[in-house]
Structure formats: structure tokens, C-alpha cells
Amino acid sequence: MFAACCLISFRSALAKVAITAVSATPQLVNPSFEDPGETPDRAAGWSRWGNWFNREDSWSPVRSGRCILGYHHWQIPDASDSGVYQDVTNAVKGTEYTFGIFANIDKARPPMRDALTIELRLESLVDGQPQRIGSKLYNVADLVPDRWEKLTVAATPVNDSLRVLVIAQPSPINGTRGGAIRFDDAFLAPTPLLDSAIPKPSVSSVADPALYGNATVIRDIPYSQSDPHQDLDLYLPKRDDSKPPILVFWIHGGAWMFRNKDWNNVKYLVKHGYALASVDYRLSDEAVFPAQIRDCNAALNFLLANADRFGVSRQNFVVGGASAGGQLALLLGLARNESSFGADPSVKPFAILDFFGPTDLTSIVDEVGPGHGREVQEDATQRLLGGPWNDRLDLARAASPVRYISRKSPPTMILHGDKDDLVPYAQSHRFHSLLDQVGVKNKLITVTGAGHDGPMFETPEIQQKVLAFLRQSESE
């Protein structure tokens, strides 16, 4: 929802700029071990020795996703250590990096003994040979069992090569070995950026039945490691058939300045068998446009790439949003050929739901009447664009969904209150007319007497119209 915002501290903003200028962040491949690679027991991107590390998709608990890396202590016949490692690219000589992973101890029952230690190690390759640059040893006995513990090590590469290693040392051979260690969610970042690189756990729980019906929710699923707020909540309906549910990809509003994944105008769709993803993204005080739409595309690409993992349809999906989220949903659905937005042109939603979203940022400030609404719009658009819209005209045009209308645009449903004092109703009416002109199926629902958002957008009558539009669009 558009609202007035407190002044942003320039000192804080400058601090963020200083931190992000540290260096390019080397990226781990498959840090959550979800991708098996060529064989089910291996994790793509990771090499192993000792044969006692395996990717496991049936162990619990996991920290996020559905898979972990398991260390099988009870199976080790000798005194040799074993482990996994990965060579990463883009390391910068002289920059300190922190590597970490989460470990969960499956404790052995006496008289069996747990593993002895877990070592995290960083190496550089010098003349083709590994040179240790950092190491930290954790005693397994000191770790709390059945709890995800964060293990880290920091070091500075001596050149542009960097290898990360996780090494397990078994207990002495003169005894019975038992127990196991679960590993999940590895991470790597320049040490000043560590907090933003640590992946959040995703927790599955029962969704509120009054709002979502018989469904579960997985919260805070990270779709990128570059910012802690790049995550989403996924609501999954309980179904009697094996057909994966259609995905509704929803983007919340907030003038591009406020976060609220619970602001979701179509919760009721989950009761009707749709899966619902509610997405967070970088706000305008963190990054100017097009960072917001790039995040939305990254989240969509992540979900579609992991459709089998989450049990949702890869082919059939809808994008939608409200207010600022409506503008982003329109860009997400219409601008499928914009590489600068991170869009994948090979995928396209079968429908767009736009709840009172801005459609033309080059005119919206002038269209809003005098008073509070105009002040909010001037502030919100200036923050999004990094300056007044008329000084950032090219960027304002790029952020305007009207620019991307074409004959190939997906069917679009627009809902807007005729008393909206923050996003002018005229913007949606004009957008509807432009879609008509090029022959795109669309429907404008004027919510008489409604302002900017509110319960009038979720009445039984509105719900039935949204459902009918989606069902008809899917069948065409």
C-alpha cells in the first residue's frame, strides 16, 4: 500500500554503498545440495573423498528445501577422514572471505561414539598445489544435538583461487562408531557482507485454514543469496490428485518502500487448489529500479526451476500483485523479452492479475490530485527512480508497464477503485483501453466506492470473477 515514509538516513545509505563496493562475491554452486547432478547420492558442484558424504533426500530434519548432505559415521571402517570440497571463481586476492555451513548432529547411542571433529578449511592453489590459508576445527562433542549449528571459517586468498572444504574426522578406530552429521545451506561471502549471505531456514507449517483452507506454508525460502530479503513464502494446497497445482506468483505492494508478504489479495485461491507464492524484493531504499523487477524475475526463475522440488506446475502459472506490486506484476508478465530485467523469454504466464497498480510512471505524479496522495507519489517514485521522474525520464519509461503492451501480451484482469486517491483510476482505465486497441483479452473491474485497497477487493463477488477469469484464461 502506498503510504508516507520516514526519511532515509543518508549515513546509512552511504554505509551500504561502501559495503557493497568490497568486491564481486564468488558464488557457490548448489549450496543447498538440492541438485543431485549426475547421480542421486552426489551433490552437483561438490567433489568428495572417502565416500562417507552423500546427498540425502529422505533424512529429516532439513534446514531448508528437501535435501541435505549426510555424513555416515557408523559406516566408516578405518581412521581416514572424508569430506567434500568446491573450487569457486571470482575470488579477489587480499579480500577476506567467510565460508560457512550448517550442521546438525544425529547423536550416537552409547556405547557407540560420535565423530570426532568437523573442520572447515579454505585453500588457495599455488603452483597447482593446495595451500591452506584458513582452518577452524569444531569438536562434535561440543555441538548441541538435533539443532542446526552455524559453522564458519574466514581467510584471505593469496591469489585469485579459492577452495572451500568440509572435513569430518571419525572417532578412534578402537571402538564402535555411530551417529551421523547432517549438513545444509553452505554459504560464502566477503566477510563484511556475511550477514546478507547467510541463507534463512525455510519452515513448513500449517497455513491459517480460515484464509487458505487445507494447506501448508513454507516461509522464507531464499531465491538468491545476495540480500537477506530476497525470499518468498509458498502456500501449497492439499490435493486429492497427483496433478501439480497452478502457481500464482504474487507481489506485495508498499510504494516500493515497505515489506509485507502477508499483504495478499488472493489468499482464497489456495482454497480452490492454486499454489501461491508471496514474494519479497529489494526496496527502493536498498536499490533503485530495475532491482525490484530483477528480483521478481529471479524469484520466478527459481520457482520454475525448482517446480518439481516444491510440487507446483512448471508450465502453468499466473503473476499478480497489488499497488506497487501490481506495477511489478505487469512488468513481469508483459516484459518477457527484457534481458535487463532478468526475464526468461522462454516462459510466459497465462494470465496477469493487476490490483490498482501504477501503469505509467511518467504521468502518475501529475495525475494524482493535490494533497496527501500527490506527496506520497512524488516521494515514492523519486525513491524508486533515484531522483525526480522528469530528471529520470528514460528510467520512468522503462518502469512503466504501458511501454510493453503488445498483441502477444497475456490476458490481464485489472481491479481498481474509482475513489483511489493514491494511484489514479484513470491509469487503469487507459491501460485497459490500450490492451483493447491491440486485441489483448482483458477485463477491467471497477470497484465502485473503493479507495486504495480494502475488503471491497475480496468480496465473494470479486472472488468469483477472479476465479472465472483464471479458469477461462487457462483453458484458452
Last residue of some domain: 169, 197, 225? 197
Q: Are residues 248 and 313 in the same domain?
A: yes
Quick one: cell of 353? 492479475
| CA 197 – CA 343 distance, rounded (Å) | 23
Using alpha carbons, select from 168, 184, 174, 175 the residue that is nearest to residue 73.
Answer: 168
Q: Are residues 76 and 207 in the same domain?
A: no
Residue 14 falls inside a structural domain: no
Would you report the helix, strand and coil content of the chain in percent, each value rounded to 5? 25, 25, 45
Q: Are residues 248 and 272 in the same domain?
A: yes
Band the pLDDT of 21: cuts 50, 70, 90: very low
- Output phi, psi for 318, to 5 deg: -125, 145
pLDDT surpasses 90 at 425: yes
The lowest-confidence range among 398-402, 426-430, 450-454 is 450-454
The order of strands in the sheet holding 68-71 is 53-56, 68-71, 180-190, 97-106, 149-155
Band the pLDDT of 402: cuts 50, 70, 90: very high
Residue 170 falls inside a structural domain: yes
| CA 24 – CA 97 distance, rounded (Å) | 11
The lowest-confidence range among 109-113, 248-252, 350-354 is 109-113
pLDDT surpasses 80 at 204: no
Last residue of some domain: 132, 165, 197? 197
Residue 34 falls inside a structural domain: no
Report the percentage of the chain scoring pLDDT > 90.
Answer: 71
Domain around 165: 47-197
Q: Are residues 78 and 211 in the same domain?
A: no
Mean pLDDT of all residues in 89-97: 92
CATH number at residue 174: 2.60.120.200
Residue 18 falls inside a structural domain: no
Q: Are residues 191 and 204 in the same domain?
A: no
Last residue of some domain: 197, 224, 258? 197
CATH number at residue 238: 3.40.50.1820
The number of folded domains in the chain is 2
